[in-house]
Amino acid sequence: MTKILVTGAAGFIGSHTVDSLLASGHEVVGVDNFRTGSRENLRQATASPRFDFQVMDLTEVETFTGLVRSQRPDVVIHLAGLVSVQDSRADPALNVRLNVGGTQAVIDAVISASVPRVIFASSAAVYGDSDGFPLREDALKQPLNPYGEAKLASEALLAGAARMHGFTAVSLRYFNVYGSRQAPDSPYSGVVSRFVDCCRRNQAPVIFGDGRQTRDFIHVRDVARANMQAALLPGMPSGDYNVSSGQETSLLDLVGLLRAMQPSLPVPKFSAAQSGDIRRSVGDPARWCAVSRFSPRETLSAGLLELVEYHSTESLAASQLLPSCPTKL
């Protein structure tokens, strides 16, 4: 049994990672400050006697180092951070404090507690306006926002510390992650969660731009499995790895898949393209596949169908619980 400390444990990717680790029989210490994560995401995990949870902010460096020193995990999976690209633009200093400062706090703690391995949640945002598709790890890195810059800086800090102090540092560059527990209700939510929510409401999805921009969608269970493999594989080499499906899907294709599942979904509306939007994104997963024998298990159509069905069952259950709408309040 391996003991793994997960930062950002109550978040979208964090909670799925915790669930996978517990299901495989490991001991997990979860840390989260609930800035964006929720207790609800940890409902399954908290039922396990092998799960310990601490409400904590990584930027309280001494407290966090104290926790890592007392728990002595075999691996730290560092997923905590400012997750919104828009927030990183609105408040670049907060982005540096949470996304670069948070990584430095993890580095300080693992050195102090002699933790032999760190897995870091990096992002396809490090490539930004790159070329040569599918993107390989050595592609040009030109982030288009402070979030991508902070991920790139964190990768460099971790790799440097790993070389100097002799631990293993693995940065996993997730592409567009989708799946359950991704909030659909913020203007900054991922496109899949927003469009699936449109299915639930039977409302027209709004496409920013012409819909020909592409993304590489990867299911959160595949990402959780990649995190677990990176944490547990014997002799895992330090380095940067794409965690991607290798499949390039346009937004028009995404809407087409959803309309095939739910023919009543209204045709999409089109709105102005978002500034700084990436035109093409698809990652080559070959490096990670070679190290881990990883191949994504979840196809986009099966993953979407599961989400659409999950949300329709949820809204049916909610409508049965709710009293009928009052005509006047």
Mind telling me the catalytic residues?
147
User: Least distance to ligand UD2 from the beta carbon of 40, Å?
Assistant: 19
**What phi, psi does 170 have (nearest 5°)?**
-120, 120
Name the residue nearer to ligand UD2 (CB basis): 65 or 227. Answer: 227
Please identify, among the stretches 52-60, 91-99, 273-281, 314-322, the one whose residues bind ligand UD2 according to the rule CB under 6 A. 273-281
- Among positions 208, 236, 259, 262, the unique one binding ligand UD2 when judged by CB under 6 A: 208
Residue 112 DSSP one-character state: H
Of 223 and 231, the one with the shorter C-beta distance to ligand UD2 is 223
What residues have CB less than 8 Å from 194, skipping those under 6 apart?
A: 184, 205
Helix intervals (H) in the chain? 12-23, 61-71, 85-90, 92-95, 101-112, 146-165, 191-201, 220-232, 251-261, 286-292, 300-321
> Which residues lie closer than 8 Å to 155 by C-beta, 6 or more apart?
120, 122, 126, 171, 240
16 binds ligand UD2 (CB under 6 A): no
Taking CB under 6 A as the rule, does residue 300 contact ligand UD2? Answer: no
Contact status: 143 vs ligand UD2 (CB under 6 A): no
Distance CA 218, CA 192 (A): 11
Name the one range near ligand UD2 by CB under 6 A: 1-9, 102-110, 155-163, 189-197: 189-197
Residue 125 found at the interface with ligand UD2 (CB under 6 A): yes
Dist CA 157 CA 250 (whole Å):
34
For the CB of residue 143, give the shortest distance to ligand UD2 in the complex, in Å. 9
**Should residue 310 be labelled a site residue for ligand UD2 when binding is judged by CB under 6 A?**
no
CA distance 301 to 177: 14
Q: Find the shortest distance in angstroms from Cβ 192 to ligand UD2.
A: 7
Stretch that binds ligand UD2, among 16-24, 105-113, 132-140, 274-282 (CB under 6 A): 274-282
Amino acid at position 35, single letter:
R
> Judged by CB under 6 A, does residue 101 bind ligand UD2?
no
The stretch near ligand UD2 (CB under 6 A) out of 54-62, 73-81, 208-216, 302-310 is: 208-216
Q: Give the type of residue at 33.
A: N
73: phi then psi, degrees, rounded to nearest 5 = -70, 160
Q: Can you tell me whether residue 141 is helix, strand or coil?
A: coil
Q: Which of 213, 242, 247, 249 binds ligand UD2 (CB under 6 A)?
A: 213
- Dig out the tokens for 192 from the structure: 């899949």
Query: DSSP characters for 266-319?
Result: PPPEEEPPPTT--S---B--HHHHHHH-------HHHHHHHHHHHHHHHHHHHH
Answer whether 318's CB lies under 8 Å from 210's CB. no
189 vs 238, which CB is nearer to ligand UD2?
189
**C-alpha dist (Å) from residue 76 to 119, 125, 189, 241, 261:** 6, 22, 27, 17, 40
Counting contacts by CB under 6 A, is residue 274 touching ligand UD2?
yes
190 binds ligand UD2 (CB under 6 A): yes
Among 71, 99, 154, 176, binds ligand UD2 (CB under 6 A): 176
For residue 101, give both structure tokens: 């400062």
Give the C-alpha separation, 303 to 101, whole Å: 34
Among 2-10, 95-103, 121-129, 160-168, the segment contacting ligand UD2 (CB under 6 A): 121-129
Candidates 55, 90, 156, 206; binder of ligand UD2 (CB under 6 A) is 206
Smallest gap, in angstroms, from Cβ of residue 264 to ligand UD2?
19
Q: Between residue 72 and residue 91, which ones bind ligand UD2 under the rule CB under 6 A? A: 85
Which residues are near ligand UD2 by CB under 6 A? 85, 123-125, 176, 189-191, 194, 206-208, 213, 215, 251, 274, 277-278, 281
